[in-house]
Homo-oligomer: A and B are copies of this chain.
Amino acid sequence: MAIIVYNYLTRRKEEFKPIHEGYVGIYVCGPTIYDHAHIGHAKAYVSFDTIVRYLRFRGYQVRYVQNITDVGHLTDDADEGEDKIVKRAQKDRVEPMELVETYMRSYFEDMDALNVVRPNISPRPSCHITEQIGLIELLLERGHAYEVNGSVYFDVSSWPEYGKLSGRRLEEQEEGVRVAINPEKKHPADFALWKRAERGHLLRWPSPWGWGYPGWHIECSVMATKYLGQPFDIHGGGLENIFPHNECEIAQIEAATGKPFCNYWLLNNMVTVNGVKMGKSLGNAIPIKEMLTRYRPMTLRFFILSSHYRSPTDFSEAALDAADRGLERLTSAVSLVRARLQTAPDGDLDAEWAARLEDYRARFVEAMDDDFNTPRAIAALFDLSREVNALLNSGQPVSRATLEAIHDLYQSLGGQALGLIFDEPVRGDLVSSRDTLVDGLMRILIDLRHQARQARDWAAADAIRDRLAELGIVLEDGPEGTRWRPSR
């Protein structure tokens, strides 16, 4: 069976065929690093993480490249205004690259918390000045660019395909252009490849056109093809950047080389708050770090995956609370299986369950093969959990082999592919396995409380609960035993 993806280049669902059998090269537009990441970033990078995870789950060897923009992204998201990083660095009175280090670290902390696997390469435009100048020189040579006063612009009228991704015709584009048109441009839709920078500008490099810095779009054309070749398989990004950013990426590299840039464009939809797009510059962005003081990281990941990546995700407390309960349904079934495994009798894998698990795997794969339909994939896991709960509460003995098969399926689908379910905690050293240790300590404490209750020593049982509450941990007693979670 093939994976079907919605390709924004053709505006239809297509069978995914990699350029090299068994390998996938994917480039995703990364964040511009000048502040902490917000929920909009979480949606984008959890979505593409899940796509990468699923491609690996399906046996592909994936090279995942995601840039970190550290220069050239101007405050108006086009060619005018200040560099976002320079502006913030001046405000904070730090060297721009110091600002970038700080927020790059913060970004990866957040992504690690959300169980987002690191990209194989995280290139930065300030690290590819030579390569960007090289591509601009090629564009000048081939007549697709022109230099004015030390800045270089792409000549959109020289490349008839301009607009092919976003579907905007040149005439339409003019209408959207801001009132103050840069007089250096021959055509209002022309865009900057290189911008002149005066002495004193904090981020500038020498070039054949004098001191300056690259335009925002050129980095992606350069870094994607440098690390993935041309054409490569998949370009990911956010739908809000389809124009001008993604459109310009294509124009730059295809006009210069005469070869296609990439085969599939996958774009995620936005996060909204009461229907309004969430964004840093819109003033309604909720930092991931703030969210994580109130919700478990996996709740946020579950929330994101419970809608499709191409649909908008509307943020609300109620939706997050619902996600928390949904995640709990999944993880409690997994915990129950794990608990039963401790005392399971030996025995063969139940044939009926073997077939049932195969059906669930097929249903999950079918959902994910259909343009990575995570809500449908999660629904399959919910149905599985309902059956698992019924089995385990039926009072019938369940063999170790059957329980292991169920557990493996959860690990494979919910863990490896969706990144929602963690491996069974195993004994580990303190350095690398804090989570495992916390889990182990909690199991001892829950058992001690259980013993106290069985001995009707209510005071002792309550004391344990109260001291855990002081540490911010809530115990929840249920039919399947006691579970714990951080209090909000």
Q: Which residues of A contact B (CB under 8 A)?
A: 63, 94-95, 97-98, 101, 105, 113, 118-124, 126-131, 133-134, 205-206, 227, 292-293, 296-297, 427-431, 434-435, 437-438, 440-442, 444-445, 448, 464, 467-468, 470-473, 486
Bound-complex Cα distance A486 to B437 (A)? 11
- For A134, A206, A431, the residue with the greatest tally of chain B CB atoms inside 10 Å of its CB is A431
- Between-chain CB contacts (< 8 Å), 24 pairs: A97-B227, A98-B121, A101-B122, A105-B118, A113-B431, A127-B127, A129-B130, A130-B205, A131-B205, A292-B429, A292-B431, A428-B472, A429-B486, A430-B438, A434-B435, A437-B471, A438-B441, A440-B470, A440-B471, A441-B471, A444-B445, A444-B464, A444-B468, A444-B471
CB distance from A408 to the nearest CB of B (A): 25
Bound-complex Cα distance A464 to B448 (A)? 9
Residues of B within 8 A of A297 (CB): 431
Residues of B within 8 A of A448 (CB): 448, 464
Further pairs besides A130-B205, A445-B445, A448-B464: 11, Cβ < 8 Å: A97-B227, A98-B120, A124-B127, A126-B127, A292-B431, A427-B470, A427-B471, A429-B472, A430-B438, A434-B438, A437-B471
Of B95, B134, B292, B296, which one neighbours A227 at CB under 8 angstroms? Answer: B95
Say whether B101 contacts A121, CB under 8 Å.
Answer: yes
Bound-complex Cα distance A133 to B129 (A)? 12
Bound-complex Cα distance A63 to B440 (A)? 41
Residues of B within 8 A of A438 (CB): 430, 434, 437-438, 441
Bound-complex Cα distance A128 to B97 (A)? 12
Residues of B within 8 A of A440 (CB): 470-471
Bound-complex Cα distance A222 to B50 (A)? 40
Residues of B within 8 A of A124 (CB): 127
Residues of B within 8 A of A122 (CB): 101
Number of copies of chain A assembled together: 2
Residues of B within 8 A of A293 (CB): 429, 431
Of B101, B131, B227, B445, which one neighbours A441 at CB under 8 angstroms? Answer: B445
CB distance from A465 to the nearest CB of B (A): 11
Say whether B430 contacts A486, CB under 8 Å.
Answer: yes
Say whether B126 contacts A97, CB under 8 Å.
Answer: no
Of B94, B120, B434, B470, which one neighbours A95 at CB under 8 angstroms? Answer: B120
Bound-complex Cα distance A52 to B305 (A)? 44
Say whether A97 contacts B123, CB under 8 Å.
Answer: yes
Of B101, B296, B427, B473, which one neighbours A472 at CB under 8 angstroms? Answer: B427
CB distance from A298 to the nearest CB of B (A): 11
Residues of B within 8 A of A444 (CB): 445, 464, 467-468, 471
Residues of B within 8 A of A434 (CB): 434-435, 438
Chain B residue with minimal CB distance to A486?
B430
Bound-complex Cα distance A416 to B472 (A)? 28
CB distance from A20 to the nearest CB of B (A): 14
Chain B residue with minimal CB distance to A122?
B101
Bound-complex Cα distance A106 to B205 (A)? 31
Closest 7 CB pairs of A and B: A127-B127, A434-B434, A441-B441, A440-B471, A430-B486, A98-B120, A292-B431
CB distance from A190 to the nearest CB of B (A): 25
Residues of B within 8 A of A227 (CB): 95, 97
CB distance from A394 to the nearest CB of B (A): 31
Bound-complex Cα distance A120 to B89 (A)? 13
Say whether A134 contacts B429, CB under 8 Å.
Answer: no
Bound-complex Cα distance A486 to B444 (A)? 17
Bound-complex Cα distance A486 to B448 (A)? 22
Chain B residue with minimal CB distance to A293?
B429
Of B97, B121, B205, B445, which one neighbours A97 at CB under 8 angstroms? Answer: B121
